[in-house]
C-alpha cells in the first residue's frame, strides 16, 4: 500500500507560474478543489515549458463567490485581472482561493516524467503519494 501525502500536482499556465515564482501571485484560483486536506502544491508549468517548477506551501483555502474571490485577489495578489477571474469562474457560482505560503523553486526545473515517472499532467490537480512527493522534494536544489 502506497503512503498517502498531503500534496497535489497542479497544472498552471507559464505566465501565472512566473508570477508565483516572483511573488506577485500569492493566490491560486481553482474551480474545483481537493476533498482531502492539502498542505503543498507541486507546480507544473504547462506548454510550452512543460516542467515542474516549484513546491509551494498552502496557508489556507477559502471557498466563495466571484466577488469574495476578487477581494481575496486584491488583498493578497491574485496575479490576474477581474475580467480574467470572471472568465475563469464563468458557469460556476463558487470557487476556491488557495493562499500560497513559502515557495520552494527548483534551481533546475525538470520534466514531469523525470520528476514522477509515469505521471501525466492533470487537468486540474492530482493527489500525490508520499513516495512521489518525497521524490519531488529531493529535486529541490534551493
Q: How confident is the model at residue 79 (pLDDT cuts 50, 70, 90)?
A: very high
Among 16-20, 51-55, 70-74, 106-110, which is the least confidently predicted range?
Answer: 106-110
**Mean pLDDT value across residues 118-133:** 92
- Domains of the chain in sequence order: 4-138 (2.30.130.30)
Does this model's pTM top 0.85? yes
| 137 against 127, higher pLDDT | 127
Express as a percent the part of the chain with pLDDT over 70. Answer: 94
Angle at alpha carbon of residue 36, lines to 31 and 38, rounded to 5°? 80
Residue 1 pLDDT: 43
Amino acid at each position: 500500500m502506497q503512503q498517502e501525502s498531503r500534496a497535489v500536482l497542479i497544472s498552471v499556465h507559464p505566465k501565472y507560474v512566473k508570477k508565483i515564482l516572483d511573488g506577485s501571485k500569492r493566490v491560486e484560483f481553482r474551480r474545483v478543489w481537493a476533498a482531502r486536506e492539502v498542505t503543498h502544491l507541486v507546480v507544473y508549468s504547462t506548454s510550452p515549458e512543460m516542467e515542474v517548477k516549484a513546491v509551494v506551501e498552502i496557508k489556507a483555502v477559502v471557498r466563495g463567490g466571484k466577488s469574495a474571490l476578487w477581494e481575496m485577489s486584491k488583498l493578497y495578489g491574485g496575479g490576474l485581472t477581474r475580467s480574467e477571474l470572471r472568465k475563469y469562474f464563468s458557469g460556476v457560482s463558487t470557487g476556491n482561493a488557495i493562499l500560497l505560503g513559502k515557495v520552494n523553486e527548483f534551481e533546475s526545473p525538470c520534466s514531469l516524467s523525470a520528476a514522477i515517472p509515469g505521471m501525466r499532467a492533470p487537468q486540474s490537480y492530482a493527489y500525490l503519494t508520499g513516495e512521489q512527493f518525497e521524490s519531488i522534494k529531493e529535486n529541490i536544489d534551493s
